[in-house]
Amino acid sequence: MDRFARTKLLFEDGFEKLQSSKVLLLGVGGVGGFCLDSLYRTGVGSITVVDFDTFEITNQNRQLGSEAIGMVKVDRMKELYPNIQGYNLKITPQWVEEFDFDEFDLVIDAIDDMSAKVAIAKKCSHKLISSMGGAKKLDPTKIEVVDIWKTHTDGLAKKFRSELKQVGFKEKFDVVFSSELPNCKGLGSFVGVTGSFGLALSALAIKRLLAQ
C-alpha cells in the first residue's frame, strides 16, 4: 500500500509537484519540528534542515524527538525522517550571506535569532515564510497568516519589523503569528500552540509550492 495514498486523493495532480519541490527549513525546535513532520508526511520530495542545538529535558514539553536528551537535533531528525538532508550548524548573518539559497523553491524560517532572521529576509524574501513568537500563548485559534507589516500584538514580530525598517527593508513576505496577548513573563510554552505554528507554516508552504 502506498503511504501517500490518502494524500494523493486530496492533492491529485498537485502531489507530483510536491514530490519535485525543494524546501529549506531553518530551525527544528518546537515550531520547526512540527513543520518538518507535516512536510515529510505530506510528501515534499526534498527537505533540508539546519539547526545547531541539542535536545535538553526542558524541550520535552513541546519538541518532537526530544526524548533523545543530549542528541544533536539535526541528527535526531535525520533518524526520524529518512532521506532529509541536515546541517548541524549555527545560523548567523554571515552563514546566510554565504549560503546558496537558489536551489530551493521555498525557505521556512523557524528560528528565534533576530539578526539571522533579518539577514534571511534580506537574502530571500521572495520565497520566504517566517514564524513569529509561539511562546507565552495558550490559544491556537489566534494564529494568523499575514505579511510581516500587518502583524500586531506579537513582541517578536514588533522587534522584527523594527529591525527590518532600520536596514531599509521594504519588501513583503508571509509570516505566521498569534494575536493572543502573553500569558506569562518568561518563555513558557504550550505544544498546542507551538505545534500549531509549525503546522500553519507547513500548510502555507504546501499552498505556496502548489501555486508555483
| Strand 143-147 relative to strand 174-178, pairing | antiparallel
Where on the phi/psi map is residue 21: left (φ > 0), alpha (ψ -120 to 50), or beta? beta
HSE-up of residue 205 (Cα within 13 Å, Cβ side) = 35
For the domain 5-211, what is the CATH code? 3.40.50.720
Q: Which residues contact 92 (CB under 8 A, 6 or more apart)?
A: 113, 115, 116, 119
pLDDT at residue 125, rounded to an integer? 98
The model's pLDDT over 19-37, given as tens digits with 9 standing for 90+, comes to 999 999 999 999 999 999 9
Whether residue 25 contacts residue 51, with contact meaning beta carbons closer than 8 Å, is answered with no
Question: How is residue 8 written as a grid cell?
Answer: 494523493
Q: How deeply is 178 buried, as exposed, middle or buried, from its count of CB atoms within 10 A (0-12, 13-18, 19+)?
A: buried
- Give yes or no for residue 1 having a pLDDT over 90: no
Q: Residue 140: left if φ>0, alpha if ψ -120 to 50, beta else—which one?
A: alpha
When the pLDDT of each residue in the chain is averaged and rounded to a whole number, the result is 97
Mean local confidence (pLDDT), 43-71: 97
pLDDT at 8 over 90: yes
Q: Is 137 helix (H, G, I), strand (E, B) or coil?
A: coil
**For 73-95, what is each residue's pLDDT tens digit?**
999 999 999 999 999 999 999 99
Domain ranges of the chain: 5-211
